[in-house]
A and B are shown apart, each in its own frame.
Chain A
Amino acid sequence: MAQVKQFVSGNEAVAIGARLACPQVITAYPITPQTVAMERLSEMVGEGTLQAQFILVESEHSALSAAMGASAFGSRTFTATSSQGLLYMAECLHYASGGRFPIVMMNANRSVALPWSIYGDHRDSLSLLDSGWLQVYVEDAQEALDMILQAYAIAENEQVLTPVMVNLDGFTVTHTYEPIRVPSQAAVDAFLPSFAPAIKMDLAKPLNMGFSSTPADNMAFKYQQHQGAEAARCVIDQVDRSFGEHFGRPYGGLMEAYRCDDAELILITLGSVSGTARRVVDALREQGEKVGLVKIRFMRPFPREEIAAVARNARAVGILDRDISFGYEGAVYTNVNSALAGNGQVPPTLNFIAGLGGRDIRKEDIETMFLRLASAADGRPFQRVEFIHLGVMTDD
């Protein structure tokens, strides 16, 4: 099918993806490094290549609140945020997922204050892992565009009806220019039908939405919400397969395993660092090392069976976290350990904290991680949580 090559930044790829999804209402509030995505969308609306109501709101809280109002009305909506803005709308995140509004939002991953930083890590979105949103992390601009389209198909599926957050590493992905292939509108229309929710505010049949419930009912609603997020496991695979058939780019669903078939040492990553890690795996494989990479794509729903299956024969598993839950460990590490333990697997697992506040993660850093994994696999003592490239051991 016709796909036009363009040289764009990650933010622009998101904007192009959003335009192709034809949202009826876009709510916008600027925050670095997300701003360019919203600037491009406003330009598209301004020049008439995107027919959408574009509302400039006064805060991120209002951005998501307005998106919920529009969604309740039966309109497809889009918004974007980052970092402090995501935290500012935290209340609305729970609201949107509890209300089962299939909103799609881009988040430019950025560190959170204090200290103030505009550079990237994953503490913003991972601290909201329990907000009920599906979370996908992309590696580059192409995946960003593609996942905006997939996100609507997932969120709006009647079994799911759950909002989706598409995460891009701030600057690393949002501001880096890459060649991407842009599908035609006709091809996207064939993949993604227009939004026609079964439940919405309707003049012929008025609805009271966003209600309160007594303790007798509340848990049943929360169970249904959980079922929606769990149902996304299958739907994500279906949507990815369908996307692959339409555009020739399947992503592997919840996660991607790279050279893991016979891997004894596996490193697990999230986001753009996966590209660097892939190159390190290639180099080590050339030296005969049995190493592999797991790129987690969805943190919710979490690929628990998939990770357990891939790590079945691993002698050590490393988890690279660009975040930390202070006083414990990285959020990805906790989730991976839970998946492995739940499957009765207990290989040594090592948590590498790296790239906080935009700090570079170099190839040498990833080689260091594999050295640590080899040492642990050989039965030597290891640090559970290690700040890489800092010289500090948290278990000291």
Chain B
Amino acid sequence: MTEPVSKAAAKPVNARTLTEQEFFFGHKACAGCGGALAVRLALKVLGERTYAVLPAGCMSAVGFIYPQMAFGINAMISTFAGTASMLSGMAAAARAQGLNDVHLIGFAGDGGTADIGIQALSGAIDRNEKIIYVCYDNEAYMNTGTQKSGLTPFGAHTTTTPAGAMSRGAGNRKKNMFDIVTAHGITYAATTSIGHIQDFLNKIQRAAAVEGTAYIHVLAPCPTGWGIATDQTLAIAREAVDCGLWVLAEYEKGRYALTKTPQQFTPISDYLKKQGRFRHLLEKEVEEVERERDERWSYIRRHWNCL
């Protein structure tokens, strides 16, 4: 097991010390929504001196329906492409006003991050804006009814990559956002899963402490889009890590580290077959997913200096 790159400076937040104060409540998210849990927990870590920006997506759709405002902190919907740029403007204003002790956080989905929002995110990292950018990844455009995004995994049935006689679901690999942001030389980046809540809390806390841009990519299952029961969100998020399809990692100062190293992977077919979106996959396609997983892990072990 590899040590995390950095240790959070502040007192660790955990299930015992997590505040009962809610900063995201009364929203209209579906039962079992991984994204809503990510937003809620992140804000509990950051506290009331926090400003949030959310682009078009599930969390803005369920959180800001006038006059029912779900955020207990200053928060605003940005344009779909503008999460990181609106945060940049806020960061500039905070500097102009001498506000040094506030947190600026964005919560964008996988489409808002890996597709339409990637330009603004790249620019913000380039300027090393002191912002926290959270990508809550439910692996498709869920708010608009499950269309393929740049982070939809190979083989997944979506409404735009249907599993039918002539099509087999999404044909591409999941875009690797972690590598994309670390290639910028970002101050801090991490991947995490809403199934590993302590890991998520740690990384939000770490992100809040760094002087510069922090990117956190949290796997946040969507029961509706994934075709799972609403009480299976956390379990399936954990299983994604256990079967090796999702990695818990950190990057800081050119160094990569794993925050969880599965010694042995659980069967990928078990993970896939529990989800409606993968039910059509043939054995050879599951093997293809398995091969890609092994390639990724081989890359990680070679390049990250991790066991």
A217 CB contact (under 8 Å) in B60, B66, B70, B78:
B66
B-chain residues with CB within 8 Å of residue A114 when the two chains form the complex? none
Nearest CB of B to A23, in Å: 9
A57 contacts B by Cβ under 8 Å = yes
| Cβ-closest 4 pairs across A and B | A69-B89, A58-B123, A66-B89, A65-B82
Nearest CB of A to B72, in Å: 7
Q: Is the CB of B82 within 8 A of A55?
A: no
**Seed contacts A56-B127, A70-B96; 14 additional CB < 8 Å A-B pairs:** A25-B93, A61-B81, A61-B85, A62-B120, A65-B81, A66-B88, A69-B87, A73-B89, A75-B97, A92-B79, A201-B74, A208-B64, A208-B71, A212-B61
Nearest CB of B to A68, in Å: 6
Interface CB pairs A-B, < 8 A, 23: A24-B96, A27-B92, A53-B92, A53-B93, A53-B96, A62-B88, A65-B89, A69-B86, A69-B90, A70-B92, A70-B93, A71-B89, A73-B90, A73-B94, A75-B96, A75-B97, A92-B79, A203-B48, A203-B49, A210-B64, A210-B77, A211-B77, A213-B65
In the complex, which residue of chain B has the Cβ closest to the Cβ of A24?
Answer: B96
Q: Is the CB of A55 within 8 A of B88?
A: yes
B161 contacts A by Cβ under 8 Å = no
B45 contacts A by Cβ under 8 Å = no
B197 contacts A by Cβ under 8 Å = no
A16 contacts B by Cβ under 8 Å = no
Nearest CB of B to A92, in Å: 6
A-chain residues with CB within 8 Å of residue B123 when the two chains form the complex? 57-59, 62
Question: Given the complex of chains A and B, what is the CA–CA distance between A124 and B66 in angstroms?
Answer: 33
Question: Given the complex of chains A and B, what is the CA–CA distance between A144 and B105 in angstroms?
Answer: 38
A65 CB contact (under 8 Å) in B49, B86, B94:
B86
B-chain residues with CB within 8 Å of residue A72 when the two chains form the complex? 76, 90
Q: Is the CB of A68 within 8 A of B89?
A: yes
In the complex, which residue of chain A has the Cβ closest to the Cβ of B92?
Answer: A53
B140 contacts A by Cβ under 8 Å = no
Interface residues of A in 48-85 (CB under 8 A from B): 52-53, 55-59, 61-63, 65-75, 77
Q: Is the CB of A65 within 8 A of B96?
A: no
Question: Given the complex of chains A and B, what is the CA–CA distance between A208 and B52 in angstroms?
Answer: 9
Main SS at interface, chain A:
mixed
A-chain residues with CB within 8 Å of residue B19 when the two chains form the complex? none
Q: Is the CB of A206 within 8 A of B89?
A: no
B16 contacts A by Cβ under 8 Å = no
Listed in ascending order, the chain A residues whose CB lies under 8 Å from chain B are 24-25, 27, 52-53, 55-59, 61-63, 65-75, 77, 91-92, 95, 201-203, 206-214, 217
B13 contacts A by Cβ under 8 Å = no
A-chain residues with CB within 8 Å of residue B48 when the two chains form the complex? 203, 206
A-chain residues with CB within 8 Å of residue B51 when the two chains form the complex? 73, 201
Which of the listed residues B63, B87, B120 has the most CB atoms from chain A within 10 Å of its own CB? B120
Q: Is the CB of A70 within 8 A of B65?
A: no
Q: Is the CB of B82 within 8 A of A212?
A: no
In the complex, which residue of chain A has the Cβ closest to the Cβ of B65?
Answer: A212
Nearest CB of A to B28, in Å: 11
A-chain residues with CB within 8 Å of residue B76 when the two chains form the complex? 69, 72, 201, 208-210
Question: Given the complex of chains A and B, what is the CA–CA distance between A343 and B120 in angstroms?
Answer: 48
A-chain residues with CB within 8 Å of residue B90 when the two chains form the complex? 69-70, 72-73, 201
Interface residues of B in 195-249 (CB under 8 A from A): none
Which of the listed residues B48, B63, B86, B94 has the most CB atoms from chain A within 10 Å of its own CB? B86
B-chain residues with CB within 8 Å of residue A202 when the two chains form the complex? 74
Q: Is the CB of B77 within 8 A of A55?
A: no
Given contacts A92-B82, A201-B74, A206-B71, contact A66 B92 (CB under 8 A): yes
Question: Given the complex of chains A and B, what is the CA–CA distance between A382 and B70 in angstroms?
Answer: 61
Interface residues of B in 109-131 (CB under 8 A from A): 119-120, 122-123, 126-127
Which of the listed residues B73, B85, B87, B119 has the most CB atoms from chain A within 10 Å of its own CB? B85
B64 CB contact (under 8 Å) in A57, A91, A212:
A212
Question: Given the complex of chains A and B, what is the CA–CA distance between A214 and B123 in angstroms?
Answer: 34
Question: Given the complex of chains A and B, what is the CA–CA distance between A95 and B82 in angstroms?
Answer: 11
Scan B273-293; emit 1 where CB is below 8 A from any A CB, else 0. 000000000000000000000
B95 contacts A by Cβ under 8 Å = yes
